[in-house]
Amino acid sequence: MQINTVYITLTCDQCQKSVTYLNTNEQVELEKEENAWIRKTARRVLNLVPAPGQREPVSRLFCSDVCTIKASESGVLNVPEPKRIIEGAATAGSVEQAAAAAKAAAAATEKLKAGQPVTL
């Protein structure tokens, strides 16, 4: 005779608050007062795009707004962009070149909005 049992564990990714219960007792466990955070304040955050090298987006569970905010502050949810370091000092010529490129981009944008052809 073989009996399969399934246990479910819900754990906050920030503070590690956790509850484990038998799958068949889900409603009973979730109705308990000590597990009210699951029904009332738990949040599941799902990235829209999988991280490089992964097939599925990462799903995170937070027990409250406080844990969600702490995770956001730590950069777990919104990974900061890498700093771009410009090597060498800017010269007058490079500044003029950058200004001309910005003007050309602005002019191209205006032409696109007006429905005119643009050559890039």
Does 41 share its domain with 69? yes
> How many beta carbons lie within 10 A of that of residue 30, not counting itself?
14
Residue 1 domain flag:
no
As a whole number of angstroms, the distance between CA 8 and CA 24 comes to 10
Does 97 share its domain with 70? no
Does 65 share its domain with 104? no
Residues 6+ apart with CB under 8 A from 21: 7, 8, 28, 29, 30
The DSSP line for 73-107 is HHTSSSPPPPP-PPPSPPPHHHHHHHHHHHHHHHH
Residue 80 domain flag:
no
pLDDT tens by residue, 54-104: 888 888 999 999 999 998 888 777 766 677 777 777 788 888 888 999 999
Q: Are 105 and 112 in contact (CB under 8 A)?
A: no
Residue 86 domain flag:
no
Does 15 share its domain with 68? yes
Give residue 112's pLDDT band: very low, low, confident or very high (50, 70, 90): confident
Does 21 share its domain with 63? yes
pLDDT tens by residue, 9-25: 999 999 989 999 998 88
Does 63 share its domain with 104? no
Does 54 share its domain with 12? yes
Q: In terms of C-beta density within 10 A (0-12 exposed, 13-18 middle, 19 or more buried), how is residue 29 classed?
A: middle
Name the residue with tokens 């038998």.
22
Residue 2 domain flag:
no
Predicted pLDDT of residue 55: 87
What is the span of the domain harbouring residue 25?
7-74
Residue 49 domain flag:
yes
| Number of domains forming the structure of the chain | 2
